[in-house]
Amino acid sequence: MRSKSIYFLLSAAVLMADQLTKAWATASLKPIGSIEIIPGVFRLSYALNRGVAFSILADSELEIRWVLASISIGAAVMVLGYLSRTSPSRARMNGSLALLLAGIVGNLIDRVRLGEVVDFLDFHWVDRFTWPTFNLADAAICIGAALLALELLREERADSLKAQGPAPEESGIGSD
């Protein structure tokens, strides 16, 4: 039986990487704005986001800091609960939950401490397409959510196949 500690260590490592990179971005990028890494494709750009994912609600006149912090706390508690109750043998499920937890807590720390979230990863295609600037916590949330969705779909398919029973060739039906 696998230990659950590996998933909590994964979450802690991603959270630490998120906080360290945000501290670096604040110290190094804030004074200069951005550094072009791959011309026309990727740069490191200091940005602050008052809103939620991809700057949704960032321009809101409402004071949403504590509302978003409360939602984040609730989400973190739910994910932590699922992570604690999920069997250690369910590696994909636990891994996705660990990533979600790290991302939620990483952005929650910024929101409570600063009132906004530090972003710095900036992908674009020349000047025609710009993906919203994001951070490692955002990436962990997106990857964790995608992996969780895939795992749930895989489980649903497996349950559906079990409910259908064995295939005709496996049951002896229709064989000569």
Instruction: Tell me which residues are annotated as active site.
Output: 119, 138
Distance CA(97)–CA(16), nearest Å, equals 16
In order of 6, 52, 111, the CA distances from 115 in angstroms are: 31, 12, 4
Helices and strands (H and E) in the chain: how many: 5, 4
| Distances in whole angstroms, Cα of residue 166 to Cα of each of 153, 162, 174 | 20, 8, 13
